[in-house]
Amino acid sequence: MLKSEPVSADDLAFDLAVLCEKSVEANDLSAISEAALSGAVTALLRLLAARAQNGMTVDLGLGNSRLSATDAVIACTALLESASIEVFELAAWQAMTSTGSAKRTRASQTMER
């Protein structure tokens, strides 16, 4: 039996991105099961949130995989509903903190000077 080389996390993430893009393009929205999609998205969002909380850049507009404004709003709505968060609560959170917002962090640092 041949031993396969370990696959890097980046390769796995890029492969998942390609699979998702192809599924959307082919209108095959069931290519990934609900359970697998939920698990993957939840884990990716937790990683994205941890990176944002630690001051790392979170830019979903890099390369050819730009997120459209429509997709962002639809996804945000689904996320808020999934977590039972109202838009008002999100606005209150954003008013109290700059966590996760590079724009708001830069603006508050500029105002402090």
Q: Are residues 18 and 58 in the same domain?
A: yes
Report the distance separating Cα 11 and Cα 87, nearest Å. 35
Q: Are residues 19 and 53 in the same domain?
A: yes
> pLDDT value at position 2?
61
**What domain range is 13 assigned to?**
9-67
Which residue, 47, 19, 87, is CA-closest to 60? Answer: 47
pLDDT in tens, 91-106: 898 888 877 666 655 5
For range 72-89, the mean pLDDT: 93
In sequence order, the 6+-apart residues with CB closer than 8 A to the CB of 22 are 28, 31
pLDDT in tens, 26-70: 999 999 999 999 999 999 999 999 998 888 887 877 666 678 889
Report the distance separating Cα 30 and Cα 46, nearest Å. 23
Q: Are residues 56 and 36 in the same domain?
A: yes
DSSP per-residue string spanning 67-79: PPHHHHHHHHHHH
For range 6-25, the mean pLDDT: 91
> pLDDT value at position 98?
78
pLDDT in tens, 81-92: 999 999 999 989
The answer to whether 87 touches 80, Cβ cutoff 8 Å, is: yes
Domains identified in the chain, total number:
2
> pLDDT value at position 78?
94
> Does 109 have pLDDT greater than 60?
no
